[in-house]
Amino acid sequence: MIRGSLLARVLARRLRLVLRWLPVCAVLALLASFCPSALSQLPPSGDAKLLSVTEVGSKTYSNEQVTALSGLQNVATVNRDTIQAAADRLAHTGLFSNVRYRYSGETGGIRVTFELRDAPTFSVSFDNFPWFTDEELAAALNQAGLPFHGAAPATGTVLDTMAQTLEKTLATRGVHATVTHQMSAIPGTGEKTLRFSVEGADLTINAIQFTDPVATNDRGVKDEMQTLVGKPFSREAVERFDFEHVRPIYLSRGYLRVTFGRPEARFEADPRGPMPKSVVVIVAITTGSAYSWGGITWNGNQAYTKSDLDALVAQSGLTVGQTADGMKIVALLQSVEDAYGHRGYLDASVVPKETFDDAAHRASYRADISEGQQYKMGKLVLTGLSIDAERKLRAAWRIPEAQVFDKTFYDYFLAKGIGDALRGLPAAQDKVSHFLQKNPQPATVDVMIDFQ
């Protein structure tokens, strides 16, 4: 005990000597090495001259942009409240998923460093701003001090600031309207985009013009176009129309690499005169080459043999040397996934890889198959039914417990089997919700159907 007390006193005396002579910044560094929270320690109360602001960690935004976003751009002196408020502003923008700061004191003031991590961002689209080009709108955002690079986070004050800036930009052309923003899906890609829209723009589509004669002269496209003509102008609506009604025409003719330009709206009258009420939408189409079918090979398949899968190709109607009908190719790949679902492989995926021979105008494919595990039937859970209705429905269900699950039957049961089983019963449910609960260990799947 005596030795321990003596040793403790000696260590304490040496530590006091070290701390007496270490400069303040070194002490803080020592603390930071033992305590992570010291990274965000605030300077002593009272103002100190701000010598510099530096960012580290961001791959998108510069020192100047971060300084402006923090509100420290024209600040001469700072204190603990000033720095904390600056960090809060950066966090609330939504541009950063993590904001920390540190500082170093030296003769004459303080240097502040923000340690940042960029937040995930999504592409930005301007849905119905025909008075401006996209480049003009992007320039307006940057001129207002917003670091806009074509993308924005899903949330944060920066979105409201962008909307307000766009409203002011619209006002320069005599358009006084509210700008809103929402996340939406890009047709056919599964990707998300952040769309800014003008509410109450009162602009309708007078006509849609395609740059390629195949789309222009197609009777089906002309008939479907009436769903857009006379309706409010929206790029998103036109893009969805192109994907659902125009693109299949080209794919079925072997134009597998057809691309559609972003819909461009043009006023039929001078937009600087009396406010036009309608626009003509121009859609640029680049067809590329028309390809013939060069066949498909399989990789990763075990549950099905090559002959099994080749039989699906024969059923699809695709023939080597004939037109590579893109719609048939899509249907073929879906039929392969359906076949795996029929045998309980609910996680199976089929990823095609194309090889285009532009000299021979031939398209060949390799399908990489990931089968996953095979599921067996678990529990059938039915809720919201009368005793009689539940009895009838269970009798109509054809997959016993512990047997291989059949996704094909499940889909049929939802589409038709339920209606057939409950036909004639007095109580009809307006809404049916359903869910597959997959249990990895053991590999079973519970079927849950709720009637409301």
Q: Residue 129 to residues 42, 178, 228, 283: CA-CA distances in angstroms?
A: 45, 12, 17, 16
Burial of 424 (0-12, 13-18, 19+ CB in 10 A): exposed
Q: State pLDDT tens for residues 54-85.
A: 999 999 999 999 999 999 999 999 998 999 99
Phi/psi at 161 (5° precision): -65, -40
CA angle 235, 237, 240 (to 5 degrees): 105
CB 208 within 8 A of CB 235: no
Q: Going by CATH, does the domain composed of 376-451 fall within 3.40.190.10?
A: no
- Dihedral of alpha carbons 189, 190, 192, 193, sign: positive
What does the pLDDT average to over 32-45?
38
What CATH architecture is 204-287? Roll (3.10)
Q: Going by CATH, does the domain composed of 42-118 fall within 3.40.50.720?
A: no
pLDDT beyond 80 at 18:
no
Q: Is 87 helix (H, G, I), strand (E, B) or coil?
A: helix
Instruction: Return the CATH number of 120-201, one of 3.10.20.310, 3.30.70.260, 3.40.50.12780, 2.60.40.1110.
Output: 3.10.20.310
CB 128 within 8 A of CB 204: no
User: At which residue do the structure tokens 């890009």 appear?
Assistant: 186
User: At which residue do the structure tokens 């001090």 appear?
Assistant: 145
Q: Residue 205 to residues 227, 237, 247, 285: CA-CA distances in angstroms?
A: 10, 11, 20, 19
What does the pLDDT average to over 17-29?
36
pLDDT of 106: 82
Q: Taking the domains of the chain in order of start, what are their residue ranges?
A: 1-29, 42-118, 120-201, 204-287, 292-370, 376-451
Give the CATH number of domain 292-370. Answer: 3.10.20.310
Phi/psi at 316 (5° precision): -70, -20
Cα separation, 188 vs 210, whole angstroms: 20
pLDDT beyond 90 at 222:
yes
> Whole-angstrom distance between the N-terminal and C-terminal Cα of the chain?
76
| pTM across the whole model | 0.78
Is residue 442 reached through a cis peptide bond, with omega within 30 degrees of 0 on the bond before it? Answer: yes
pLDDT of 427: 58
If pLDDT is split at 50, 70 and 90, which confidence band does 14 have?
Answer: very low
And the tokens for 443? 């590999």
User: At which residue do the structure tokens 């080459």 appear?
Assistant: 289
Chain mean pLDDT for the chain? 88
Give the residue from 447, 449, 452 showing the smallest Cα distance to 427. Answer: 452
DSSP state of 242: I
Q: State pLDDT tens for residues 197-215.
A: 999 888 999 999 999 999 9
Q: Residue 132 to residues 124, 140, 153: CA-CA distances in angstroms?
A: 15, 10, 23
User: At which residue do the structure tokens 């076949």 appear?
Assistant: 339
Q: Decide if 204-287 and 292-370 have a common fold.
A: yes
